[in-house]
Every structure is written in C-alpha cells, then in structure tokens.
Structure 1
C-alpha cells in the first residue's frame, strides 16, 4: 500500500520490539510518511527478522525488558528529534509503550490503567465490574491456593498464566490432581518467551463450551470501529492451541450484533481509548463471554486475513491512531476475496519430522497464497501444547465460508509429516 501522505506527514514513530503482527507497523509507518525508530534487544528470541531491517530507519539495541532503560532511551531520542507517536510491537510491551507515550506527551493508552489489558486478573475484575459476563475465576499465586480456587470455580476449569501469550500453559483440567500437575509443570518450566519467564501467577476460570471468535478493530477519537470477526479453530483439548483462523466468521445476524456490542463494551471497560484491539470471546449458547482482550492487533497473520477479506489496513490504522492522524485519511484497499484463512501445521511428535508430503501439490492450488515451513526437517519441535509446537502454515482465500472450512480440512489431511 502506498499513499500520498509522505510529504504531508513528516515525522517519525517509535516502535518497541516489533514481533508477530507488530512487524507490519514499520511498513505502514513508511507508507504514512513517517520514519521508523525501533528499540529492540535484537538477540536470542528477540532477534529482529532480516526481512524487517529494510523498514527500520534507526535501530537502537537495548534490553526492552528493562523499562527504565527503555524510557531513558526514548526520552533521549525524543529530545534529539521528536516522535509523532509510540507503538508497542508486541503485546508484552503495551504497558511500557503507554508509559513512554505518556512521558513524551503523545497519544496512547492511559498509563494509570494500562495494566488492565495485560494482567488477566485485573482484566476480569474490570470487565465484571462493568456488568459484563465473564467466566467465574479465581487468582492463584502459589500451589497452596489451588484447592480453594478450584472449589470456587468448579471443574472442569481452565488454568492459564496471568501474564503470558501464545496459549503457553493454558489447559483444561478435570480434577484437583490434574490441576496440581498442570500447575507444577508451569512453575517448573524454565523456558523464556521474549526473555520473560513465568512467575507462577495464574487464573483458574470456568470452562466455557462453545465456538471461539475474536473481534478485530481500533479506537480513534473516542470511537470504536469493528472491522472483522475472526473464527478461531483450536487443536484438541486439554490444550487450546490456535491451529487456524477464518475471516469473516459466519454468525447469525443477532449473534454478530451481540458480539460487536459486547466487544465495544469490553473496550470501554478496559479504557482502550486509542489504537487497535483484538478481543477473544467464546460463545456458549450464542452469548459472547470474554476470554481476553489485547490492546494490539491480533497475531497469527490475522491482520493479513482482514486485509484480504475486507481491504482494511489494520497496521496503517494503528499507526494513524497512535500519531494523531485522522483514520479517514488512511486509504482503504479492495478485498481480494470474500474470505481468508490460515492453517498451522504441527509435527507428528515432539521429536520433529524427517520429511513432508503434499506441500508442493498444495502450493499449486489457486486459492493458496502462501505455504511455508517455519522449522526445517530434523529440528527438534516442542509438543503441540502452545504456539511453539507449530511448524508451518498455509494462508488461503476463498469465495465462501464453507469453502474456507473445507479447504482447511483438505490442507490438514493432505499434508503429512513423518
């Protein structure tokens, strides 16, 4: 996407640790006439992809998990030449980016309430206090608290870290023994995600039986705009690994209206006053109930699916909202298809795979836009308990919702690993 705004909108934007869908913010900023400054650790699992470097005008390497150092660098750079806005490049950095923006006097989420969109316990409490339905829940900070929390919530229930992402250690449990074992696995897991470990704080919450969707939208000038509703396709329980998405979800008109109204109310309850949001819901009996909300674009290429199916450039609108640009000035594209989807592959076991079959045949199909493997044969692969067990994806477009679901099934059955 290119626009004629480059000359009219001179300035630069600060992006903190662009990862996942946040990488699209850099190209969007260039399209809107802004230079890009990136703060990144740029090593280990925070190493910036090589393909991204062409979109970075200035790279400052520092530990982005050290918020005082991050704030000091941002202030110094702003004094040298002011920023038009500050954006988080990944959901872990939403609170830090909000506090930086507040310090610099730039558009952003309120620093006093921004933790509500990261801490799931705070999120639940604020949404419930607004009179909206949420799952029953109880917060746990130590193993000794599990029995009382389970008695309050009941079985089956879902265990999830209070401050994590990517379905890491999210699982359904049916008994107190299962709950204790799941919590022990969580607390003994020393792996890091973007340099961050788990701290043992979890939520125990009511299990909701129903389809899962997410609402994609943005807030600008106090107005909530819903752009799309995504159907989310999960792997087998007890885990909740996201293995596919389809935009748009096909819902009954009354359910769609309820979903959009509920998401807008959640956005208001959590004080999301600027920028994009990704609101995950379950629909037990067709009624929307919050799973969680992120004050950022959805991951897993959802913004690309939205662009294909609607023509709406979410990354451009995110940059516009955080730099004070009127979203009406952001040109919309044209839909490439009525529906767009993505399917993620998982390996047949934790030992990885030696060979893949059927992928080239799949690439020849006209509906398939991308078919890629993220991990090569022979590489060890974690068990498919969270996003780390996914080894590749296929992105596709169709002209009907039924075709989107059927093609995903064909992809799942037609590509095999051994």
Structure 2
C-alpha cells in the first residue's frame, strides 16, 4: 500500500485517539512513522474503520487502567523503543505525561499535566501568577456547595472539576437552581466519550459575561505561538454547548495582542512547555479571562478549520513536538484554502427518539458547504440537550468574510430538522 511505513520506521504511541487525534494517525503515516495505537477499541471507543486502516499496530487495552497501559507500553518500549508518546484525548493528557516521563520521552512535566486536568488546580496556579481567573470555590457535597455559593455569589456557573465537552456546565441564578443542577449532575450515570464517570467534585465559579473564544496554538522554546483564534457560537443558557465555531474570530489588533499576551502568561503559569494548546477564554469588557486550557489538539473539527484558514497543521506540530522533531519546520504554513471557515453542529432539543431527518441533502447541495456528516438515524434515542453528547452531526463550510460565515452558520441551523 502506498505510504505504508517500513517495519524499521520510527514508532509513535498514541493513547486512545478520538476526534481530532485521528489526524495524528494519518499525519504520522504520511510522514513514514509506524503508529502504535493503544485503545479500548470497544463500544463507543471502537476506532472507526477508516482510522483503523491507517494504524500500524493496534493494542487493545483499557487506557483507563493506567497500570495495565504502562506495563504494556514499557514492555514494548524495551524491545523496540518508541520515539514519542502522544495523548489522543483530553482525558489522557496526565496519563501520557506520566508515561512519557517513565519511558524517558518528550512530554509535559507531570506536575503541569495534573493541573491541566483539574480545573481547581489550574485556576489556583494561574491566579498565583497574577492573572485574572473567575472567582471560584470547590465543592464535593451539599454542605460545601452551599459554602461555595456564599463565597462566589450569583449568577454563577457550576461545572465538574475534571470533565470536558461542556458536561454539566450550567449557569445558575439562585440557590434553588444550583441545588437542582448539582442533583442532576450526581444522578447522571452516563459515561463520557472514553468510559469515565463524574466523581461529584465541582467548581462553583463567577459567571463571566462576554463573548467566548478559543485560542489555538503551540509552545516552542518556552513561548506560546498563537496560530488562530476561534469564535464560539454557544447554545442558549443555562447550557454552554458549542453549537458552532468560526475561524478566525474578528479581533482588532489591540484585542489580539491582549489575548496573545494573556495566553502566553497562562502557558508559563502552568508550565505548558511543548506541543499544541487549546485555550478557552471569555472576553470581559474586552479583557481575556481564562475558562480553561488543554495541552492537546482542539476538538469539534477546529483543527481542520484552523488549517483551512492558516495553512498550518496542528497535528503535524504535535507529532514533531512529542518526538523531538523540528517544530519550526512542522509549523511552516501551506497555502490557506479559505479566508474564513466554520462548523455547525446539528442538535435536536426536545426530541427523545428520531423518527425522521429532513434537509440533509439541502445542506450537502449548498455551495458553501465542504463536508456534512449526520451520525443520527431514525430510531436513535437523542441524549438530553446540554453537552457534546447531544450533537448529532455537523456541517463544515467556508466564507469570504466573517459576516458571511455567521450567515452561513445561521442558515445551516435551520436547514436540518428532526421529527
């Protein structure tokens, strides 16, 4: 098969790839690397067929069992060393940092990775560096929840301390609403996208008014390099579901400079020392305030949007960073294929079971749409509205202006309906 790495090719280990990390597999193969993928490879974590066809070696292991994953990886590394180990999902950033440290491979400092997965630690370290973060307090039961609310005040945002994908991130305006949102969180027995469950630890934090953006970039030689700024389109509150994204966001030069300076300082505070980052911010009175940062590729097809509008491949940069490669060469921009690009995520609020889907062919026929995928089919149950689990598919599009991109997203929101 063309492009198939030789048996002697350098080997990279990718831990439980999902979403954007599938691009790591294809990028590694294109660069002649042998990909070793560790995955549970069952149920919701089964690798899609097009992805598994590009995998060099598939290791079936529950990556939530860090001891089993570590023993397997160490044994393989002793026989045929890896050149790098990369996290394929937000939930394995800390796991991968510990594994890289054990194997003597490039990786994030273990202490840093712990704070990147725990939002309370994250806020504490960023605040200690003198940067603004939301006023917050931790809670783990009804008593500490009441005390946290008294400290923070209302309106507030309730969120799990160590989850992702907007799971149970909820605006609350009073004590009754906070109690209701916390009980819903405790009673949610559904897993996240890698088989994990909520542990009841939460933050109650200050509600930040203002638009939300994400900053995509990478760290090289101690400096954060911003590649793109993505504008978010969120669902109506009390939820904060990402309905869509537009790359790039419209920021004037002064606002962009403030964002870039703040993100660089956040990376320094958390010792994010290499590789890509995805930093979510609210602009409060024009000033950036941290929502959270992940030392990983962005999800929601944002890596693709970023490459369309900048010509820069974040998966390529991540591979170079975590294998000791030439990051500046990996970060050289190709020719952008669009001035602006966006994605709209299809949802069906209020629908419990899909009876029929209308409008998908109209979406695919729209001249501005490059890709449209619908995962839901008639007969499927629809997860409750509010986090990434309720997204039923997406459409990706391009535009010549920011205003046109917003208009395309609004048009797509009305094209597909579910009965």
Bucket of the pairwise TM-score, normalised by the shorter protein: over 0.9
Tell me which residue corresponds to 2:364: 363
Tell me which residue corresponds to 2:283: 283
Tell me which residue corresponds to 1:274: 274
CA distance in 1, matches of 2:112, 2:229: 26
**SS, match of residue 256 in structure 2:** helix
Tell me which residue corresponds to 1:187: 186
Tell me which residue corresponds to 1:305: 305
Of stretches 343-352 and 301-310 in structure 1, the one that deviates more from structure 2 is 343-352
**Maintained 8 Å contact 2:224/2:263:** no
Give the TM-score normalised by structure 2.
0.96
Tell me which residue corresponds to 1:200: 200
CA distance in 2, matches of 1:51, 1:186: 35
Of stretches 76-85 and 351-360 in structure 1, the one that deviates more from structure 2 is 351-360
**SS, match of residue 308 in structure 2:** helix
Tell me which residue corresponds to 1:320: 320
Give the TM-score normalised by structure 1.
0.96
**SS, match of residue 218 in structure 1:** strand
**Maintained 8 Å contact 2:362/2:415:** no
**Maintained 8 Å contact 2:235/2:243:** yes
Superposition CA RMSD, Å = 1.5
Tell me which residue corresponds to 2:79: 80
Tell me which residue corresponds to 1:148: 147
Tell me which residue corresponds to 1:259: 259
CA distance in 1, matches of 2:351, 2:361: 24
**Maintained 8 Å contact 1:220/1:275:** yes
Tell me which residue corresponds to 1:178: 177
Q: CA deviation at 1:389?
A: 1.0
CA distance in 1, matches of 2:310, 2:300: 17
Q: CA deviation at 1:177?
A: 1.1
**Maintained 8 Å contact 1:12/1:85:** yes
CA distance in 2, matches of 1:113, 1:255: 28
Q: Deviations over 1:288-336 (max 9, x none)?
A: 0000000101100000000111110110111110011112332532111
**SS, match of residue 113 in structure 1:** helix
Q: How many residues align structurally?
A: 414
Tell me which residue corresponds to 1:22: 21
CA distance in 1, matches of 2:127, 2:359: 48
CA distance in 1, matches of 2:48, 2:359: 28
Tell me which residue corresponds to 1:67: 66
**SS, match of residue 291 in structure 1:** strand
CA distance in 2, matches of 1:414, 1:365: 10
**Maintained 8 Å contact 1:137/1:204:** yes
Q: Deviations over 1:177-210 (max 9, x none)?
A: 1111111111111111121111000000000010
**Maintained 8 Å contact 2:243/2:344:** yes
**Maintained 8 Å contact 2:62/2:69:** yes
Q: CA deviation at 1:414?
A: 2.6
CA distance in 2, matches of 1:183, 1:210: 24
Q: CA deviation at 1:55?
A: 1.5
Q: CA deviation at 1:355?
A: 2.1
Q: CA deviation at 1:348?
A: 4.1
Q: Deviations over 1:201-241 (max 9, x none)?
A: 00000000100000000112333211000001100100000
CA distance in 2, matches of 1:54, 1:45: 18
**SS, match of residue 86 in structure 1:** strand
**Maintained 8 Å contact 1:32/1:316:** no
Q: Deviations over 1:88-111 (max 9, x none)?
A: 000100001011111111110011
CA distance in 2, matches of 1:270, 1:328: 23
**SS, match of residue 82 in structure 2:** coil
CA distance in 1, matches of 2:189, 2:351: 18
**Maintained 8 Å contact 1:339/1:397:** yes
Q: CA deviation at 1:10?
A: 4.1
